[in-house]
Amino acid sequence: MDTSLIEAFIALVDCKNFTKAAESLCISQSALSYRLDHLEKELDAQLILRSRGRRGFGLTQTGTEFIPLAERWLALAQDTVHFKNDTRQQMLSVSCVETISFRFAKLYKSIIDEQPFLLSLHTYNSPQTITDVEDQIIDIGFTVRERASRNVEVVPLFSEHHYLLGCLASDRRTIDPRTLDPHDELLTDWGSTFRAWHDSYFGLDHQPLAEVDTASSVFNYLADGVWCIVPASAIPFLQTISATYGHPVQVYEMTAPPPDRICYKVINRTPRPNRIDSIRYFEERLEIFLRENDLHL
């Protein structure tokens, strides 16, 4: 399949407008429409619901489900281009969940500064990261969930505490979340053990203010009285961005916190031969980083 067809689809999804999508690709609207029509014919499926004038649009259920596959296709195409342009240049594709990417930012920066190889970074959820490592789209993944696989090795790396974070009028250092208004909670599922603890601690009939799927989404809804429970990796990011926008938040210990969250390293048991040196270098730097930052089980 022609990658330009996938690029046209992703451009439309990102820009949410035919005119802007065409401009972002430096093509005409008719060329954009042709590519989208051709993509639907290739897939034998309707992805886009077009309104009158073809400027407005919506996605079919199939179109929505196709988005992550299209993004992975483009990521793989990008890696292929890098490989074709300079087969002598080593590279490494790394994926991790959002909160761990916050934790590893300094590690990534140090490797990028040294430039031992081209580092390709991706932020995917745990299931997709594991799948991409299985398919050798990603070389090293970092997840917060396990999944058995013959082709993938999952290694526990470190554990981290959860904390209560919020814009609360309290000078206490430790808080029992059950004393707070449950309707002011921003709930995020940090993993199976966290959700089990949450259901047990608050009850299945607990009604939060909202459920959000990422730490960065939490920031959008923080306000006076609003609180959430987050892993340690997310706290520096949320504190910094909240203070920047005039909503400083406080961090509290909990009287009966959830089980610590475990971060796992995921690697393919038979990595691509041209990535072995890069993987070895990254793992050496990772070991040093974990030791220097006192990250352990």
* Residue 70 amino acid letter: A
Q: Mean pLDDT across the chain, nearest whole number?
A: 89
What integer is the mean pLDDT of 49-78? 81
> 178 pLDDT exceeds 90?
no
In whole angstroms, what separates CA 152 from the centre of its chain?
20
pTM of the model: 0.71
What integer is the mean pLDDT of 117-121? 92
Q: Distances in Å between the alpha carbon of 233 and those of 42, 70, 155, 212, 259? A: 42, 29, 19, 17, 15
* Rg over CA atoms, the chain: 22
What integer is the mean pLDDT of 193-198? 91
* Residue 5 amino acid letter: L
User: Tens digits of per-residue pLDDT, 15-36?
Assistant: 888 888 888 888 888 888 889 9
pLDDT value at residue 124:
92
What integer is the mean pLDDT of 141-169? 92
Would you say 202 and 178 are in contact if contact means Cβ atoms under 8 Å apart?
yes
Point out the least confidently predicted range of 43-57, 131-145, 180-194.
Answer: 43-57
CA–CA gap between residue 47 and residue 29 (Å, rounded)? 17
CA–CA gap between residue 34 and residue 38 (Å, rounded)? 6
What integer is the mean pLDDT of 236-257? 86
Q: Indicate the pLDDT class of residue 53, thresholds 50, 70 and 90.
A: low
DSSP 71-130: HHHHHHHHHHHHHHH-TTS-EEEEEE-HHHHHHTHHHHHHHHHH-SSEEEEEE--HHHHH
Extract the tokens encoding 103.
């934790």
pLDDT value at residue 88:
47
Closest by CA to 257, choosing from 145, 143, 160, 156, is 160
pLDDT value at residue 235:
93
Domains of the chain: 3-70 (1.10.10.10), 86-159+262-292 (3.40.190.10), 162-259 (3.40.190.10)
Would you say 235 and 205 are in contact if contact means Cβ atoms under 8 Å apart?
no
User: Tens digits of per-residue pLDDT, 135-145?
Assistant: 999 999 999 99
